[in-house]
């Protein structure tokens, strides 16, 4: 799948002002690399570049000491902020994703929790609060762990009571990245209404204290269900007091299939489930969050927050019930306000989709770079492309009548007409093209919307067919 010319132009415009040591040749090289990768994001670099000389020049560019992730991201983030101001109100969605580097030396690129070579990318995706359109990335940093994970067991109580206080004292502890992302995004989007959204790891008294002191708005998912709160003078665990609040509205929601996770912690927090329609109930209340014991008196004794609970009172037999608890600064006085908070958190799935676009759509983990600096540069180039792919796929769903030529080349459309299992008409739409590529990857209509892996598999087949098709056209007629 290619990106339309408007998307390619937007990516090039974002990155062309990056500070690359003052040499205009590097800027020209950047434009060529970005343009070609944008038009064929799922192809390898040798396939993207026209010649061996172009490929070598690309490797020299990526490994140049004058080209950095920070400079490329700064250029993109500046343009992203301009787009955000036109939206007036945006959601700043924060997440951390692992990037496996199979060709790298772990002493250089770092170690993942699995012990494999790789690093972690922590970034903030901006999304229009009303349009839900991805606008770009406002903050990006990487976490490189120089030591492999230790495989010793630690009692949960000991880890919570002792290591929590110890890690709090570390000036450069990894968790501070969440506050850095919030602070940097607010500073970059001065004059724009920003609401920060994050998953369970954002459940931190320190982080929420920093947000409240800076008057940052947020919707954060609760992780520590036993955390002490005060509600109407009654003190208790957050999950117990929230369960006593009366529901004020309900909603039918389609739940997607969730496959089993292999990691024990992920398997516990995200149990497998079948696709189903669920009736969810919403409630809300105001609480005072009590300061944890391991924090000093430099932090306020309580924080006043609103809490929204989402739960499924009658799940099907054998299925785990849905339940969310959300801390928020947003008002929850009416059913409409409560529903708005829930919808803000539900928009968090967009950054999960962006992670998939980065890995399955841009193949960031399959780029054969061996050094950390080269991988970081490729990450900074690939993230804007991933945002555009995400926006394009969403657009193909929301505006299905746009022409197929916006997402595929004419020859690719012709190949799908000839060999695809899902036939295309004379004037196929972008939606038709999306489903035809998915069918090439093995997608069945009964399975719902195609995922990134299916699309990437189908696109890989289509690119291979295209190479063979072009080669066959050049053969003599008698062969």
pLDDT tens-digit map of 359-414: 988 888 888 887 899 999 999 999 998 888 888 777 666 677 878 887 777 888 88
Phi-psi region of 110 (alpha: psi -120 to 50; beta: other; left: phi over 0): left
The overall average pLDDT reported for the chain is 86
Radius of gyration of the chain (CA): 24
> In this predicted model, what pLDDT tens digit does every residue of 284-300 receive, in sequence order?
999 999 999 888 889 99
- Mean pLDDT over 413-425 rounds to 86
Phi-psi region of 297 (alpha: psi -120 to 50; beta: other; left: phi over 0): alpha
This prediction has a pTM of: 0.83
Q: Residues 292, 293, 299, 305: what is their CA dihedral angle, to the nearest 10 degrees?
A: 20
The pLDDT value recorded for residue 166 is: 44
- Encoded tokens for 323: 């339940």
> In this predicted model, what pLDDT tens digit does every residue of 138-161 receive, in sequence order?
999 999 999 998 865 444 444 444
The answer on pLDDT for 257 being more than 60 is yes
Best CA proximity match to 238, nearest among 267, 205, 269: 205
The pLDDT value recorded for residue 261 is: 65
- Mean pLDDT over 411-440 rounds to 86
- Mean pLDDT over 49-76 rounds to 91
The pLDDT value recorded for residue 335 is: 95
- Number of C-alpha atoms within 13 angstroms, CB side, residue 239? 10
The pLDDT value recorded for residue 161 is: 45
Judging by beta carbons within 10 Å of its beta carbon (0-12, 13-18, 19+), is residue 182 exposed, middle or buried?
A: buried
Q: Which domains does the chain have, with CATH numbers?
A: 5-69+370-394 (no CATH), 80-153+160-356 (3.90.350.10), 399-474 (1.10.740.10)
Percent of the chain at pLDDT > 90 equals 46
The pLDDT value recorded for residue 265 is: 63
The pLDDT value recorded for residue 252 is: 87
| Contact indicator for 113, 56 with CB cutoff of 8 Å | no
> In this predicted model, what pLDDT tens digit does every residue of 296-333 receive, in sequence order?
889 999 999 999 999 999 888 888 888 999 999 999 99
Percent of the chain at pLDDT > 70 equals 90
Residue with the larger pLDDT of the pair 268 and 87: 87
Best CA proximity match to 438, nearest among 417, 456, 425, 426: 456
The pLDDT value recorded for residue 162 is: 45
| Contact indicator for 210, 182 with CB cutoff of 8 Å | yes
């Amino acid at each position: 799948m290619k990106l339309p010319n408007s998307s390619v132009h937007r990516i090039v415009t974002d990155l062309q002002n990056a500070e690359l040591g003052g040499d205009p040749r590097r800027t020209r090289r950047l434009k060529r690399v970005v343009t070609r990768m944008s038009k064929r994001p799922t192809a390898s670099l040798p396939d993207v570049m026209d010649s061996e000389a172009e490929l070598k020049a690309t490797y020299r560019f990526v490994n140049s000491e004058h080209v950095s992730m920070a400079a490329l991201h700064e250029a993109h983030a500046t343009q992203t902020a301009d787009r955000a101001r036109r939206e007036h109100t945006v959601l700043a969605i924060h997440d951390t994703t692992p990037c496996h580097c199979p060709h790298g030396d772990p002493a250089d690129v770092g170690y993942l929790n699995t012990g494999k070579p790789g690093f972690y990318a922590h970034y903030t995706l901006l999304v229009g609060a009303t349009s839900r359109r991805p606008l770009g990335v406002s903050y990006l940093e990487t976490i490189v762990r120089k030591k492999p994970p230790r495989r010793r067991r630690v009692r949960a109580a000991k880890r919570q009571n002792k290591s929590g206080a110890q890690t709090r004292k570390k000036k450069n502890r990894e968790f501070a990245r969440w506050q850095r992302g919030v602070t940097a995004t607010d500073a970059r989007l001065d004059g724009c209404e920003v609401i920060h959204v994050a998953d369970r790891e954002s459940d931190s008294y320190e982080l929420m204290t920093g947000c409240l002191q800076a008057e940052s708005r947020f919707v954060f998912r609760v992780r520590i269900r036993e955390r002490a709160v005060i509600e109407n003078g009654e003190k208790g665990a957050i999950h117990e007091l929230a369960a006593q609040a009366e529901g004020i509205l309900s909603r039918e929601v389609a739940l997607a299939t969730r496959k089993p996770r292999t990691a024990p912690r992920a398997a516990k927090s995200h149990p497998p489930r079948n696709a189903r329609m669920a009736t969810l109930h919403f409630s809300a209340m105001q609480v005072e969050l009590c300061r944890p014991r391991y924090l000093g008196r430099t932090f306020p004794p309580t924080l006043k927050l609103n809490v929204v609970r989402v739960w499924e009172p009658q799940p099907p037999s054998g299925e785990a019930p849905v339940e969310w608890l959300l801390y928020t600064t947003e008002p929850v006085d009416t059913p409409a306000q409560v529903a708005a908070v829930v919808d803000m958190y539900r928009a968090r799935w967009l950054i999960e989709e962006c992670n998939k676009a980065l890995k399955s759509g841009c193949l960031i983990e399959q780029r054969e770079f061996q050094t950390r600096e080269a991988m970081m540069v490729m990450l900074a180039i690939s993230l804007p492309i991933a945002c555009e792919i995400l926006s394009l796929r969403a657009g193909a769903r929301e505006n299905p009548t746009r022409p197929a030529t916006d997402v595929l080349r004419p020859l690719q459309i012709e190949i799908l007409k000839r060999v695809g299992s899902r036939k295309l008409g004379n004037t196929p739409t972008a939606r038709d093209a999306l489903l035809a590529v998915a069918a090439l990857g093995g997608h069945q209509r009964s399975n719902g919307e195609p995922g990134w892996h299916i699309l990437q598999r189908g696109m890989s087949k289509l690119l291979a067919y295209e190479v063979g098709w072009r080669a066959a056209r050049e053969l003599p007629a008698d062969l």
